[in-house]
């Protein structure tokens, strides 16, 4: 019997756990249709950014001229952002077009870092037809006066504000850099997250030594980056009441299998699909089916979380023991 690939994510029934992650793929509905034809279980649209929403409302209030001099940098990157995701008004149209063209769930994405009026825009994304919302809190704490407590409060305030603006399910995408990630995960869920998307991949600019310029070029991920979400999904599975989505480093069906065993409900892909297109998604889906069959799993649901740390009474000691074992196992040749 062919193994069943269905999974549940944010309370939605998906035909399989392969989700197109937020990226430029989603700004072209035809491309999304090809992803659906290749077998995607759901898709996340590219983000609409806090700065774009705030910029639009400033324009509406004709305050822009005043503000333009105070933050010229914002004005120089905004045209590029419009090219990326078409801006707030057209973003709503993108949701509508994606909904019409696709039968898989369409997840809209909102991206910001400070509490403010932009969070209420979430309601418009819902009204435009999004099945669910992914909130990406992308923030690098660089202020030496801002404590970790204040940073965490900032995340929680944003999540509460967005969560109270919508009734559709809300997933929250964050990075791994918290002193107590497990506790933060629990509080994000208490603040209104129905799911956690682990992890944001922080872009890391380089320096061009000839031109002495900072170069913020995109470097696509590799499979080795999977280890971080893999470990944390295994730790959080069964400890937070939320769906778990893995992002960063999912490149083939083995990566998908590992994450499902660790406890992911879905696995998201951007780099691999940007590099190889929808054909690769089909290969990953077929590879997943074959792997389940070969290893006598009846379904994705059956395997989900079977290698999580839910049964480990003391994950801290477990991690410490694994750490020491790993170091000790290295052999100098
Ligand atoms: C070119 C590019 C654009 C992206 N745009 C967004 C975005 O708009 N919103 C977002 O939350 N993540 C965005 N991401 C991050 C991806 O959704 C994903 O989380 C990250 O690339 C790690 O997954 P991967 O290893 O499959 O690439 C983008 C990634 C790339 C490479």
Computed from CA positions of residues 163, 166, 169, 173, in that sequence, does the dihedral angle turn out positive or negative? negative
- Whether the pLDDT of residue 187 is over 70: the answer is yes
Instruction: Give 55's pLDDT tier (boundaries 50, 70, 90).
Output: confident
- CA 296–ligand 1 middle distance (angstroms): 33
Query: Which atom of ligand 1 lies closest to the CA of 268?
Result: 26
What are the b/e assignments for 185-199, b being 16+ CB within 10 Å?
Answer: bbbbbebbbbbbbbb
β-strands 170-174, 195-198 pairing? parallel
- In this structure, the residue with its CA closest to atom 10 of ligand 1 is 22
Q: Which pLDDT score, from 0 to 100, does residue 101 have?
A: 98
Per-residue pLDDT band for 100 (boundaries 50, 70, 90) equals very high
pLDDT value of position 321: 84
In sequence order, what are the residues at sequence separation of 6 or more whose Cβ sits closer than 8 angstroms to the Cβ of residue 226? 246, 248, 249, 250, 251, 255, 258, 259
What's the whole-number mean pLDDT along residues 173-177? 95
* Residue 233's CATH number: 3.20.20.70
Other C-beta atoms closer than 10 Å to the C-beta of 89 total 10
Q: Which of 16 and 328 is assigned the larger pLDDT? A: 16
Mutate which of 17, 18, 19, 21 to test ligand 1's pocket (most atoms within 8 Å of Cβ)?
A: 21
- Which residue is listed with tokens 């905004």? 78
Closest Cα to atom 30 of ligand 1: 23
For the segment 97-121, the average pLDDT, to the nearest whole number, is 95
Domain membership of residue 311 (yes or no) is yes
Cα 52 to Cα 77: distance, rounded to the nearest angstrom: 10
Distances, alpha carbon 237 to alpha carbons 5, 169, 186, 275, in Å: 19, 19, 11, 30
Residue with CA at minimum distance from ligand 1 atom 1: 23
For ligand 1, the distance from its centroid to the CA atom of residue 270, given in whole angstroms, is: 6
Residue 61 falls inside a structural domain: yes
Residue 48 forms beta bridges with which residues? 110
Q: Is residue 1 part of a domain?
A: no
Average pLDDT on 96-106 reads 98
**Residue 159 pLDDT exceeds 60:** yes
For residues 135 and 170, the answer to whether their CB atoms sit within 8 Å is yes
Q: Is the CB of 7 under 6 A from ligand 1?
A: no
299 is a domain residue: yes
d(CA 137, CA 45): 16
**Position 96 pLDDT exceeds 70:** yes
* pLDDT classification of 197: cutoffs 50, 70, 90: very high
280: in domain? yes
Does residue 192 lie within any of the structural domains?
yes
Give how many domains the chain has, as a whole number. Answer: 1
State yes or no: pLDDT of 68 exceeds 60: no
Alpha helices by DSSP H, listed for 23-119, are 29-38, 50-60, 64-70, 72-85, 87-101
pLDDT (tens digit per residue) in 211-223: 999 987 888 999 9
Residue 238 has pLDDT above 90, yes or no: yes
Q: Separation of 200 CA from ligand 1 center, angstroms?
A: 8
Flag whether pLDDT at 59 surpasses 70: no
Per-residue pLDDT band at 317 (split at 50, 70, 90):
confident
114: in domain = yes
Q: What is the CA radius of gyration of the chain?
A: 20
Q: Other C-beta atoms within 10 Å of 146: how many?
A: 12
Is the CB of 52 inside a 6 Å radius of any atom of ligand 1? no
Q: In this predicted model, what pLDDT tens digit does every residue of 4-19 receive, in sequence order?
A: 999 999 999 999 999 9
Is 183 among the domain residues?
yes
Considering the chain, what is the average pLDDT of its residues? Answer: 91
Full residue range of the structural domain in which residue 73 is found: 7-328
Cα(246) to ligand 1 centroid in Å equals 12
- Region 226-247: what's the mean pLDDT? 96
248 lines ligand 1 (CB under 6 A): yes
pLDDT value, residue 323: 83
CB 238 within 8 A of CB 189: no
Cβ–ligand 1 contact at 27 (below 6 Å): no
List Cα–Cα distances, 320 to 14, 68, 228, 324, in angstroms.
36, 52, 16, 6
């Amino acid at each position: 019997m062919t193994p069943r690939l269905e999974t549940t994510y944010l309370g939605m029934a998906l035909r399989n756990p392969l989700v197109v992650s937020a990226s430029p793929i989603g700004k072209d509905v035809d491309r999304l249709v090809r992803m659906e034809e290749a077998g995607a279980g759901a898709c996340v649209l590219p983000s609409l950014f806090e700065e774009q929403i705030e910029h639009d409302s400033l324009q509406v209030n004709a305050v822009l001229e005043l503000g333009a001099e105070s933050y010229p940098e914002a004005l120089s990157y905004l045209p590029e952002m419009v090219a990326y995701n078409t801006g707030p008004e057209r973003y709503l149209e993108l949701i509508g077009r994606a909904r019409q063209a696709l039968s898989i769930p369409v997840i809209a994405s909102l991206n910001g870092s400070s509490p403010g009026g932009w969070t209420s825009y979430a309601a418009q994304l819902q009204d435009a037809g999004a099945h669910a919302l992914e909130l990406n809190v992308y923030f690098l704490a660089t202020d030496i006066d801002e404590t970790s407590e204040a940073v965490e409060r900032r995340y929680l305030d944003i999540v509460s504000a967005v969560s109270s603006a919508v009734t559709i399910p809300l997933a929250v995408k964050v990075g791994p850099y918290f002193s107590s990630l497990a506790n933060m995960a629990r509080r994000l869920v208490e603040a209104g997250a129905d799911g956690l998307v682990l992890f944001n991949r922080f872009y890391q600019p380089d320096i061009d030594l000839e031109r002495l310029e900072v170069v913020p070029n995109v470097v696509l991920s590799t499979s080795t980056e999977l280890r971080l979400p893999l470990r944390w999904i295994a730790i959080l599975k069964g400890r937070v009441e939320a769906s778990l989505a893995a992002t960063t480093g999912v490149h083939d069906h083995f990566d998908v299998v590992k994450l499902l065993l660790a406890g992911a409900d879905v696995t998201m892909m951007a780099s691999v699909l940007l590099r190889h297109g929808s054909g690769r998604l089909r290969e990953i889906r077929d590879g997943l089916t074959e792997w389940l069959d070969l290893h006598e799993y009846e379904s994705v649901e059956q395997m989900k979380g079977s290698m999580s740390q839910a049964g480990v009474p003391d994950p801290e000691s477990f991690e410490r023991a694994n750490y020491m074992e790993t170091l000790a196992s290295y052999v100098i040749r």
